[in-house]
Structure 1
Amino acid sequence: MTEATQVTDHGGGVRSIRVPIPDNPLGHTLVYVLDTDAGPVLVDTGWDDPASWDTLAAGLTECGTSVTDLTGVLITHHHPDHHGLSAKVREASGAWIAMHEADAAVVRRTRENPPARWYAYMAAKLAAAGAPEEHLAPLIAARDGGRPRRLPGLDPALPDRAITPGDLLDLPGRRLRAIWTPGHTPGHVCLHLEEEHPARLPGNGRLFSGDHVLPGITPHIGLYEDPDDATVTDPLGDYLASLEGVGRLAPAEVLPAHQHAFTDAPARVRELLDHHEERLTGLLGLLAAPLTPWQLAEHMEWNRPWAEIPYGSRNIAVSEAEAHLRRLVKLGRAEAVPGSDPVTYVAVP
């Protein structure tokens, strides 16, 4: 890997470029360059930022290609650190963009709804979760003030193609199969390179894992947000089930979107499954007395004390608390307290 462009050659026509994420502790997104007989294809594109774009372009040059040579973009999921630069890549190269339909639906909703509707939706959701008035006030002010689209990801690129789970993707000279792995987002996909590992490591090919399986951190699992859909989803249940599928696949190497490549996917999957089971058990202890989702988030263990968690991260934390509550309710281990407003939850004895 070179320091200037942050390029790593993984062998077998696969390279990665460390594309920076501004002002984010994750630091970077690993954007993969996959050689095909029709030209290079990207797996994810990185954050929409001038420095990120420059790094991506320089990295492609180091790989012996360029943005204009790209023929396609495969998006693991719609989040802005993965899909952010897709529109610029397509504009510069004419490359197609492919995404799972469930995340493409999120992209369409995001583009079609004015920001004020999202602020109103989030304010209502957080109020129902028991957020205090001082936390709701900025969202309500943004809702009523006609604030323009300033947040990242509010105008994402529409995909041209659908990634269909189970299908081999149309990439001449490569065998890349789509695996639907919902949880982090409803349409998250992993991409299984069904080819012998270039270093002949034991296992079943290589897996571009997006955010589904990371070597040292657990991805955020929150509620799937859709103002038009009242379906009671179970994102954590989706995530755990799709994790088990990746464990059974047993790839020789995992190529994630953050941190670094790693081996022994089944062991990492077991660590993640154990982590969430321990967390669910710990939450049942907190729910010995009724708590709102906001109160539960306040008492959960995060990477810093609640008082030090930034405003936006608190919204994410509450969504994660709600996803865990959904799972506990579905398992019959917790229940909503009848008549509570905002709703509180308590462990089932």
Structure 2
Amino acid sequence: MITVSAPAQFQAWQANVMPPVEEVRPGVWSIPVPFIGNPMRYTLSYLLVGDGEAALVDPGWDSDEGWECLTAGLAVAGVAPERITVIVVTHFHPDHLGMAARLRAASGAPVVLGEHEPLPAQWRGDPAGFVVEDRAQFTAWGVPVEYLDEVSFQTHTWEQMTTIAQPQFRLADGELLPVAGLMVRVLSTPGHTPGHICLVDEANQLILTGDHVLPRITPHVSLEATNQLNPLDDYLRSLERMGVGAQMEVLPAHEYRFLGLTDRVAQLTEHTLERSREVITVLETGVAASVWNVAQELTWSRGFASLRGFTLRLALAETASHLVYLEQQGRAVNIEVSRGAPARP
């Protein structure tokens, strides 16, 4: 059973408003930063105060409004931006990493990512070449030509992604955050991205889960243009690692804090496997010849026809991740998933 542990955050989520800045434990602060133009509405950044040093986890989407909210939240905690000594980011997505460059400029603090998290600039050095390959990927997935422009990256979009902050150093699984007075350990949890990390604060009995575990929403796990060969398998294996925080309060990057991590992990695991079973049912009909065909037959909250633009892209990439996973499990897929050839275990 999942129990809401932050009534003010929960009520704010229900009311579609920003939640308050809160001190979760002495020296541990939750600071919401607006996620402009997105249904998720905000990212929950976390300030971890040590002995004369402090970490800021997931500074959020970069915007003037977001910067005002972040600095105002820091002021409530009595910490000026220049007092931040390390900026820790659970994964590279811009609603987490976006503000890192601005915060680094104000504080001089290094930006830290997990050791296996690739940045878009590392995937492809040539934006134009990447855009061509990305479009070819979705063509191979059976996307009709009239949808290709809206689901594939354009040059300007790719250029925006490759200008996000570069990390100054990386942290490996099991390493402690380099902050005096803290004992917060990195937990590698690939799946949502190849190098996603969670943070375990045993002293305060807290686990910061980024996007890996959220109280209500299932994180997106997709086959994107990275070196992540089987993201769904990575994700399920990472869920198994969450037992370390079974009795801890969960501090996610979106929505609200909660207790009951073991039950939530079980829900997420079952939901993911049920989706794979739904994909199997579609494959067994024998009529699906492409990723697009399979996605059309799956259950989507507002129906497949409602999916457009980036949402449609994510739905197709998620479908592809299930096909790769099932083929690794020994299922006959017979659908082209990766470029040029069917996926291989």
The TM-score with structure 1 as length reference comes to 0.86
- Partner SS state of residue 179, structure 1: strand
- Report if aligned partners of 2:40, 2:254 keep a CA contact under 8 Å in 1: yes
Question: Which stretches in structure 1 are left out of the alignment for 5+ residues?
Answer: 198-204
| Inter-partner Cα distance in structure 2 for 1:75 and 1:16 | 15
Is residue 85–residue 179 contact of structure 2 (8 Å, CA) maintained in 1?
no
Check conservation: 1:128, 1:343, Cα contact below 8 A.
no
The equivalent residue for 1:188 is 196
Equivalent pair of 1:290/1:344 in contact (CA under 8 Å): no
Distance 1:52 1:337 in 2: 43
Structure 2 residue corresponding to 1:26, chosen from 28, 32, 40: 40
Look up the match of 1:48: 62
Indicate if the aligned counterparts of 2:121 and 2:162 stay in contact, CA closer than 8 A. no
User: What's the offset of the Cα at 1:311?
Assistant: 1.2
Distance between the aligned counterparts of 1:337 and 1:67, measured in 2? 51
**TM score, norm. by length of structure 2:** 0.87
SS in 1 for 2:214: coil
* Aligned equivalent of 2:12: none
**Partner SS state of residue 220, structure 1:** coil
Q: Distance in 2 between matches of 1:297 and 1:78?
A: 26
- Flag structure 2 segments of 5+ consecutive residues without an equivalent: 1-7, 10-16
How many aligned residue pairs are there? 325
Determine if contact 1:192/1:207 at 8 Å carries over to the other structure. Answer: yes
1 CA distance for matches of 2:76 and 2:19?
7
Q: Distance in 2 between matches of 1:6 and 1:70?
A: 21
Counterpart mapping for 1:101-180 below 5 A: 101-103=115-117, 105-109=118-122, 113-137=125-149, 147-148=155-156, 152-180=160-188
Tell me the distance in 2 between the aligned counterparts of 1:17 and 1:257. Answer: 10
Q: Distance in 2 between matches of 1:61 and 1:93?
A: 14
Q: Structure 1 residue 121: deviation in Å?
A: 2.1
Alpha-carbon deviation of 1:78? 0.4
In the alignment, residue 102 of structure 1 is paired with which amino acid? H
Q: Give, in whole Å, the separation in 1 of the partners of 2:80 and 2:266.
A: 39
Query: Match for 2:50: what amino acid?
Result: T
- Structure 1 pair 166–119 and aligned structure 2 pair: CA distance change class (3 A): same
Distance in 1, matches of 2:57 and 2:19, equals 17
Going from structure 1 to structure 2, the CA distance change for 1:342 and 1:90 (only over 3 Å counts) comes to closer
Is the 8 Å Cα contact of residues 44 and 74 (structure 1) preserved in structure 2? yes
1:224/1:233 contact within 8 Å kept? no
Provide the rounded CA distance (Å) in 2 between the counterparts of 1:39 and 1:49: 26
Residues 50, 182 of structure 2: 8 Å contact kept: yes
Residues in 2 aligned to 1:162 and 1:113: alpha-carbon distance in whole angstroms: 21
Partner residue, 2:88: 74
1:286 alignment partner, SS class: helix
Question: Alpha-carbon deviation of 1:16?
Answer: 0.8
**Distance in 2 separating the partners of 1:5 and 1:137:** 36
Is the Cα–Cα contact under 8 Å of residues 31 and 257 in structure 1 kept in the other structure?
yes
Q: For each residue in 1:296-340, what CA deviation from the matched residue of structure 2 results, as whole angstroms up to 9, or x when unmatched?
A: 1122222212222121111111100000111111111232159xx
Match of 2:78 in 1: 64
Distance 1:76 1:42 in 2: 11
Larger RCO (alpha carbons 8 Å, 6+ apart) = 2
Give, in whole Å, the separation in 1 of the partners of 2:151 and 2:264.
38
Residue aligned with 1:260, SS: coil
Contact 2:48 2:56 in 1 (8 A): yes
Question: Counterpart in 1 of 2:5?
Answer: none
Letter of the aligned partner of 1:116 in structure 2?
A
Q: Secondary structure at the match of 1:317?
A: helix
- Whether the aligned pair in 2 keeps the contact of 1:5 and 1:58 (CA below 8 Å) is no
Match of 1:201 in 2: none
The percentage of aligned residue pairs carrying the same residue is 35
Contact 1:5-1:59 at 8 Å conserved across structures: no
Aligned residue among 312, 315, 319 for 1:314: 312
Q: Distance in 1 between matches of 2:296 and 2:342?
A: 14
